[in-house]
Structure 1
Amino acid sequence: MPHDTTLIGTIVAGLGVAFLMAALAQRLRISPIAGYLLAGILVGPFTPGFVADTGLAMQLAEIGVILLMFGVGLHFSLKDLLSVRKIAVPGAIAQIAVAWALGIMLGLWLGWTIEGSAVFGLALSVASTVVLLRALQARDMIETEKGRIAVGWLIVEDLVMVLALVLLPAMFGDRGDAAGGDQLLQSAAIVLLKVVGFVAFMFVVARRILPWVLHWVAHTGSRELFRLAVLAIALGVAFGAAVIFDVSFALGAFFAGMILGETQLSRRAAEETLPLRDAFAVLFFVSVGMLFDPNVLVEQPGPVLATVAIIVVGKSLAAFALVRAFGHTTQTALTVSVSLAQIGEFSFILAGLGVGLDVLPETGRDLILAGALLSILVNPILFTLAVKRIRTDAAPEPVDMAREESAALCNAGVVLIGFGRVGSHIGTLICGRGEGLTVIEDQKDMAAAARATGATVIVGDATKESILRQAGLEEASTLLIAIPEGVEAGAIVRRARAINPRLVIVARAHSDEEVADLVRRGADHVVMAERETAARMAERAMLTLV
């Protein structure tokens, strides 16, 4: 070829094979993550055929981590973060200590040095950002107490790993010889100063500049420029945080998102980054699969099982006990413990650094990669079992008045999905007449606006049957779907029709294809904005001609 196409080949192979394997996983009714991981193994260096560039794949995956943490930050406030500090800080540190000790014991049992065993244990102690957040987002748990604790826990783990990545070269940089205590204290102090400096910079300087920039761009009216600004802020702050302050990409992106989340443009910023976020998150799982050598399962089955047991069982039990010890419910403890029962990107970095410093044997890196892949593979299954256990065993959880009022107001009433530009006008008209209205909305700012009109609000994803039932759809007379996404609207129509065959469903669409699809799925009336606008304009024109 006339020029190097390694990057293009890696992206095409990663996304293309991931699509095929995810489609197969969907057909088999298993998590698509399994398909992404299998795709990585197929295009990796340990299987025959095409081999993608592992180094490039890892860098592309890092972009996915940045965008994912930026998106979480958009829905996470400083108040949310501080509200869980009393459990997240001591809990994360104690859980890291338990997993670290278990890893050290396994390493010593395998005949490694104490230093290598310590690096191995540390790599097993930190959860994957991508896996944890994807699991929470899939179940609408990010903004719940359970989700806030898990995310806060994750941030503390990230900070500990940043400290470890700086201290390891200081300790073993000279052919594995341990450094002196003064040097270690000096390195630790520098790291802490940089972290404090980064946080201070974000809340003193960036908190004033970034929202102003985004508002200025929004007022230009250019959607393309707004999208570019959001991506530049997310990636730029993350990269700057890593280069200047030596903190992780993920932590920098999270703080950038959290600052922009305080603005009214947070919802739009989240929507603009969503497609890239999903695409690069897929590449993360593909990159994990590329690092995995299946031969380790045959050559070292015992150590592999022990490693997975530490990650899935040891870490989970420690986290469960710690959350319960801090007085939280069994449901919260179960959710947090299962969400942390995997390892990921920081584990790979630690493993590579340990091998590079001649501290961790290459066998340890193989076990870490095997443990990561297997724990990521079983994590969605564990999450599903945990959610079922919570629903089965838990006493009726205390629900807010919004949910209780929902059942009453939805009797022969109206349910509105989406409180954006269209939904807010609908809601204001209905509530202005004194009619009962229940709104389903997944964004906090929109939910607050709906409550201000007097509507009952259910915060959640309307594509999920449980949320529709929670809104009392079985007894409602009318369902109004005001969201602009045609695919999601179609899924909602299909589920709503199955829940209540007598329901009158009115939806909106933007094309003839969407109209036909919504009608086919069960919508009674579909309003297409362009048609209605044309009809009203023609009607006005005809009046002037009379």
Structure 2
Amino acid sequence: MESNPQLINTLAVVVLGAVVGGVAASIIRIPIILGYILTGIVLGAFRDEIGLQVSAISGTAEFGVALLLFIVGMEVSFQDLANRLAAVGAPLQILVTLGLGALLARSLGFEMVPSLIAGYAGALSSTAVALKLLEARNHIGSNLGSAVLAYALVQDLSLVLALALLPLSVGAASLGGAAAQVGWSLALVAALWAASTRIVPMMLRAISRTRSRELFILSALGLCFAAAVIADKIGISIAVGAFLAGMTLSRSEFRHQVIAESIPFRELFGSFFFVSLGMLIDLQFLLEHWLPVLSLTVMILLGKTLIIGVLTQMLGFHPRVAVSTGLALSQIGEFSFVMANSALKLDVIPRELYDLILSATAMTLLLSPLLFAALDPIAERLSRRVNFGRLISFVEPPGEDTSGHAILCGYGRVGRRICRLMKELNLRVVVVDFDARALRSACEHAYATVFGDASNPEILKRCQAEKAQLAILAMPDRFTTVLTAKHVRNLNPNIAIVARAHSSGSADELETQGVNAAVVAEEETAKAMVRECLVLTGIQVGKAEESVEDAPSARGHAGFD
């Protein structure tokens, strides 16, 4: 049996490069993806000396992106398509970005068809990077997370149609052949959808009875490879087949277990792709064409942020959610690579345009996490310069004689429970939220309500914060909570502020902004569970309460004077 030394050498270099890049990134405290890509670029500059072939590196990148997208597919769901962003916003974003990207490519001297492909590649975002950015800030499941996933999922699924039509652009297929390929692609999606409802759950249920983790993981990977092979046979990318297989598993009752078992693989396959992507960058091309690469990078980052942000806000989302969604999706990533690589193999695009897209992909992947990290200070500066209060209306502002009342910022699940308890204690509450439907519900329960962004001083003045005795900040977003606390304290130095926090770090930050008590959900849950344990093991209720209250805590208390 003959070995493939080129493949082994490439995998060895990629893995070692990932280790070096990951360690370097952790030392200098930059996102690990940046470490992978930068290490890949350095290795790519010496690939001839190392004895690596571009074809082997490209194959490693394709393998890595396919398995990465399989894991990403499990973390999204067809349910994410059930909102107005997926139905209206994402298709419009793809069309607008495609058109503007094609115009930019035409201005650089490329033909129409290659320009359209470049524009489409620029319209796609990196779902893997976007998910990492959301996870880092605990935004999975929030309004921001839902918005990002809606755009990302529509972008990813659009590639099925784009790859099916790609041969038609160079006459490699007739109109009938292209229609047949589209039909086969849709049939694959339908078959996987059908399998996700019965066949896959039955298979996983049977395997789970063996209590073998190895078989569980192998069965999931087997589905991935099967879908990838079928996708390749019908003419679409193996990466798309792997992604669809992942989405098939996302509908299973075993989804969380599969994801939990696959998290280490996601990091491994992600490192394969990002290091290989960096190695594919032609450094000489990058130096000789730095101006077009820089122009394309800036246009992609700013253009996509603006397009997605405007569309998201037009469809009724909070301005900060809109801006955050645009920044999270501002890069181009793994599906853009798949599209460019497929187009190059069919000679649809010239090598120069492929290198340009690849370079822009790497540059946007390097810069977008840094831009997303800078969101908070940017939003704070904007909040001081823009009077959003002029743009919003009020549902039912409190009366002029309101004083000594409590202001509740955020009428979600936590806020509703707080309101109910405050009402039982006969305390007057003014509810402020940006969700009109939530406020209508508050009005039905006879609470005074103000519609608007609680982090805006004008809105807090409408709530008469300077006369209130208590402010309760129950919003899920950390930055909004910090900014609101700062403005409330500036308006009323004597007010007592209680805020919701998601970690000890965010609680410490809130306290620096004048919050009297920051409640960390995990700490309070732990105390409640310990209290129940003490009572159930025979310790008297009073003694259990005393023991729990005396337990050390990272949080301080506030006395209301």
Using structure 2 for the length normalisation, give the TM-score: 0.66
Residue 363 of structure 2: aligned partner: 374
Matched, 1:114 2:99: no
Residue 232 of structure 1: aligned partner: 222
RMSD of equivalent CA atoms: 3.9
Structure 1 residues 173 and 27: alpha-carbon distance in aligned structure 2, compared to 1, 3 A threshold: same
TM-superposed deviation, 1:382: 1.2
Structure 1 residues 169 and 480: alpha-carbon distance in aligned structure 2, compared to 1, 3 A threshold: same
Q: Which amino acid aligns with 1:281?
A: G
* Alpha-carbon distance between aligned partners in 2 of 1:119 and 1:263, rounded to the nearest angstrom: 35
User: SS of the residue aligned with 1:220?
Assistant: coil
- In structure 1, which of residues 120, 131, 134 is the aligned counterpart of residue 132 of structure 2? 134
Q: Which structure 1 segments of 5+ residues have no match? A: 410-458, 482-499, 506-546
TM-superposed deviation, 1:374: 0.7
* Alpha-carbon distance between aligned partners in 1 of 2:420 and 2:58, rounded to the nearest angstrom: 52
TM-superposed deviation, 1:362: 2.6
1:335-383: CA deviation from partner (whole Å, max 9, x where unpaired): 2211221112333343344445555333222221111111000011111
Q: Which amino acid aligns with 2:412?
A: D
TM-superposed deviation, 1:312: 0.5
* Alpha-carbon distance between aligned partners in 2 of 1:335 and 1:108, rounded to the nearest angstrom: 30
TM-superposed deviation, 1:213: 1.0
1:235-275: CA deviation from partner (whole Å, max 9, x where unpaired): 333443x1355555455445444444444432221121111
Residue 40 of structure 1: aligned partner: 40
Q: Which structure 2 segments of 5+ residues have no match? A: 390-407, 422-499, 509-517, 531-548, 555-561
* Alpha-carbon distance between aligned partners in 2 of 1:44 and 1:479, rounded to the nearest angstrom: 55
Residue 384 of structure 1: aligned partner: 373
In the TM superposition, 1:343-358 aligns within 5 A as 343-358=332-347
User: SS of the residue aligned with 2:209?
Assistant: helix
- In structure 1, which of residues 94, 97, 100 is the aligned counterpart of residue 95 of structure 2? 97
Matched, 1:154 2:163: no
TM-superposed deviation, 1:50: 2.0
User: SS of the residue aligned with 1:269?
Assistant: helix
Contact 1:58 1:284 in 2 (8 A): no
Structure 1 residues 194 and 39: alpha-carbon distance in aligned structure 2, compared to 1, 3 A threshold: same
In the TM superposition, 1:280-359 aligns within 5 A as 280-359=269-348
Residue 410 of structure 2: aligned partner: 398
TM-superposed deviation, 1:308: 0.7
Residue 81 of structure 1: aligned partner: 80
Contact 1:60 1:280 in 2 (8 A): no
Q: Which amino acid aligns with 1:16?
A: L
User: SS of the residue aligned with 1:17?
Assistant: helix
Contact 1:124 1:347 in 2 (8 A): yes
Contact 1:66 1:253 in 2 (8 A): yes
Residue 220 of structure 1: aligned partner: 210
Count of matched residue positions in the alignment of Structure 1 and Structure 2: 428
* Alpha-carbon distance between aligned partners in 1 of 2:19 and 2:528, rounded to the nearest angstrom: 34
TM-superposed deviation, 1:284: 0.9
Contact 1:57 1:283 in 2 (8 A): no
* Alpha-carbon distance between aligned partners in 1 of 2:123 and 2:220, rounded to the nearest angstrom: 33
TM-superposed deviation, 1:100: 2.2
Residue 396 of structure 2: aligned partner: none
Using structure 1 for the length normalisation, give the TM-score: 0.68
* Alpha-carbon distance between aligned partners in 1 of 2:335 and 2:412, rounded to the nearest angstrom: 38
Q: % of aligned pairs identical?
A: 33
Contact 2:163 2:237 in 1 (8 A): no
Residue 466 of structure 2: aligned partner: none
* Alpha-carbon distance between aligned partners in 1 of 2:185 and 2:347, rounded to the nearest angstrom: 28
TM-superposed deviation, 1:71: 3.9
TM-superposed deviation, 1:19: 1.6
Structure 1 residues 358 and 82: alpha-carbon distance in aligned structure 2, compared to 1, 3 A threshold: closer
* Alpha-carbon distance between aligned partners in 2 of 1:189 and 1:347, rounded to the nearest angstrom: 23
TM-superposed deviation, 1:107: 2.5
User: SS of the residue aligned with 1:11?
Assistant: helix
Residue 173 of structure 1: aligned partner: 171
Question: Greater CA deviation, 245-254 or 106-115?
Answer: 245-254
Residue 200 of structure 2: aligned partner: 210
TM-superposed deviation, 1:285: 0.5
